[in-house]
Amino acid sequence: MQYYTLGNTGLKVSRLALGTMTFGDDWGWGADASNARQLFDTYLAAGGNFIDTADLYTNGNSERMLGQFIQESGSRDRVVVATKFTYNAEPGNPNAGGNGRKNILRAVEGSLQRLDTDYIDLYILHTWDQVTPAAEVIRTLDDLVSSGKVRYVGLSDVPAWYAAQAQTLAQERHLEPLCTLQLEYSLAERHIEFEYQALAQNLGMGIMVWSPLASGLLSGKYKPSQAGGEGEGRLAMLANSGNPAFNKFTERNWAIVSELEQVANELGRSMAQVAVNWVANRPAVASVLIGATKLHQLQDNLGALDFAIPPELLARLDAISQPEVTFPYTFFEPGIQGMINGSATVGDKPASYRRPILVEGTGSGVTTE
């Protein structure tokens, strides 16, 4: 297992993190306690140290199981526990959810209790609530770091402008900087490439990738059907749930799956391994959250980093999954940039001239500017 430091911190995390949204069968597509324990033990035995949960997952049972497994295995010092707040815990009470100070301070106590620990290694805002000022969030997170209840902080599923504002305020006000952005990223979902990789690289955050297999689609076990798609697993159950994260049975995605299958065959690797390998090696990616409901899935995914995808196969995967370039990004393409540069070639600075901003192997995956 390889480790990176996360963003601009001294926290060392494995490049493959374990996602525990599948710990507990409360949502109808997870792993029961004994299967979840097998997943946890196997991940630790493989050298992994980075485990992600949230107060939302399986109605709190994911945190409860994880806390119990860590206690029973005596691994608290070794494991880096990430959990998240935002989602509402009390219908009818708007302050039992969201990113305001009142909810963050309520939520952290619940997570500490369920995780059976007195500190959280990485505390992450789960989703933008559209109302709370960034200044309130970063000040509250900084207070939690000062209190010792939290070690590091980050954001997930927020607009890029909001993350940039929060990080800039944190830096200017000498508050705890954000070290990570947790975002959906895969061959089937590449929209973060327009804003977030440059954001992470420029402002010292490492990206934690979620749904690297597009909820299982990129494992190749689903096939197109008259109803859109069919196969065994979460996506077949949730494709029509209205949640955009599960709306993956599209013509475009079937074309990506087909190309991925051919590339995986040429490499003699599983499709899941190739999909995880592709995303793990993209700019600014610090760690990829691998999820599983079954042991053989986790074992497969854990083998995703011990090979390299040759450039010609990478080019085929890039081409088939290229996201459509829309405004304003059309203005950053070579045509209009040429009008700005007077058609002169303005290339990268030679390596000797670049200012080092992060040491090799840091979470943002960037070594020079």
Ligand X SMILES: NC(=O)c1ccc[n+]([C@@H]2O[C@H](COP(=O)([O-])OP(=O)(O)OC[C@H]3O[C@@H](n4cnc5c(N)ncnc54)[C@H](OP(=O)(O)O)[C@@H]3O)[C@@H](O)[C@H]2O)c1
Residues with catalytic function: 57
Site for ligand X in 172-201 (CB under 6 A): 182
Site residue total, ligand X (CB under 6 A): 30
Q: Which is nearest to 293 in space by CA: 350, 188, 215, 214?
A: 215
Query: How many other CB atoms are found less than 10 A from the CB of residue 340?
Result: 11
Q: Contact between 29 and ligand X (CB under 6 A)?
A: yes
Q: Contact between 321 and ligand X (CB under 6 A)?
A: no
Q: Contact between 22 and ligand X (CB under 6 A)?
A: yes
Q: Which is nearest to 130 in space by CA: 155, 105, 99, 104?
A: 99
Judge contact between 116 and 71, C-beta under 8 A.
Answer: yes
End-to-end CA distance of the chain: give it in Å, rounded. Answer: 27
Site string for ligand X, 264-293 (x = CB under 6 A): --------x----------------xxxxx
Gap between the Cα atoms of 33 and 28, Å rounded: 13
Q: How far is the CB of 25 from ligand X (least distance, A)?
A: 11
Q: Contact between 214 and ligand X (CB under 6 A)?
A: yes
Q: Contact between 221 and ligand X (CB under 6 A)?
A: yes
Q: Which two tokens stand for residue 293?
A: 């409901």
Q: How far is the CB of 47 from ligand X (least distance, A)?
A: 19
Gap between the Cα atoms of 84 and 125, Å rounded: 6
Q: Contact between 297 and ligand X (CB under 6 A)?
A: yes
Among 61, 117, 197, 219, binds ligand X (CB under 6 A): 219
Q: How far is the CB of 186 from ligand X (least distance, A)?
A: 7
Judge contact between 29 and 22, C-beta under 8 A.
Answer: yes
Q: Contact between 19 and ligand X (CB under 6 A)?
A: yes
Gap between the Cα atoms of 238 and 243, Å rounded: 8
Q: Contact between 233 and ligand X (CB under 6 A)?
A: yes
Preceding omega of 328 cis (within 30 degrees of 0):
yes
Contacting residues toward ligand X, per CB under 6 A: 19-22, 29, 52, 126, 156-157, 182, 210-216, 219, 221, 233-234, 272, 289-293, 297, 300-301
